[in-house]
């Protein structure tokens, strides 16, 4: 069974950190580009970051604060989020996309995204 499961969300104060995990089962994450997306209440889902064999990508809003990484042995992709702001509050999702196009295309264009996780809530509030 192909499945993505996100975890690691929670409530954090502004300036704090969280690390999200996207664990895959039923397939090998390394065969895909993995994108992180988020959706805040009343807003459209947006691409945040991506990692693939060929490159990586960060949205301007998170560049310098978020770091994406992959542990192939654990079949898991991580999103380390530092210096969190209230505007980072959202449900965060991971999804698989093709690794034959740039990550910017996968995340920016929601290009051929297949498997999605159920999401994990991140709330940044004092």
Strand pairing class (18-25; 33-39):
unpaired
Contact 68, 79 (CB under 8 A): yes
CA distance 77 to 42: 27
Displacement of CA 50 from its chain's centroid (Å): 7
Beta strands in the chain (DSSP E): 3-7, 10-12, 18-25, 33-39, 46-51, 56-58, 66-71, 76-81, 90-97, 120-124
Q: Token pair of 113, please?
A: 């995204």
At residue 10, the pLDDT reads 98
Displacement of CA 30 from its chain's centroid (Å): 15
Q: What confidence tens digit (pLDDT) does each residue in 84-105 have?
A: 999 999 999 999 999 999 999 9
At residue 2, the pLDDT reads 84
Check residue 108 and report its DSSP letter: H
Q: How confident is the model at residue 30 (pLDDT cuts 50, 70, 90)?
A: confident
At residue 3, the pLDDT reads 93
Q: What confidence tens digit (pLDDT) does each residue in 45-73 have?
A: 999 999 999 999 999 999 999 999 999 99
């Amino acid at each position: 069974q192909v499945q993505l499961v996100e975890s690691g969300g929670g409530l954090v104060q502004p300036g704090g950190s969280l690390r999200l995990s996207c664990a895959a089962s039923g397939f090998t994450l390394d065969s895909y580009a993995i994108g992180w997306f988020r959706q805040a209440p009343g807003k459209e889902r947006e691409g945040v970051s991506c990692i693939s064999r060929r490159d990586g990508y960060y949205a301007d809003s998170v560049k310098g604060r978020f770091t994406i990484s992959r542990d192939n042995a654990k079949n898991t992709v991580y999103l380390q989020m530092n210096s969190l702001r209230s505007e980072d509050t959202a449900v965060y999702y991971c999804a698989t996309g093709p690794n034959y196009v740039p990550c910017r295309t996968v995340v920016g264009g929601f290009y051929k995204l297949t498997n999605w996780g159920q999401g994990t809530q991140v709330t940044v509030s004092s």
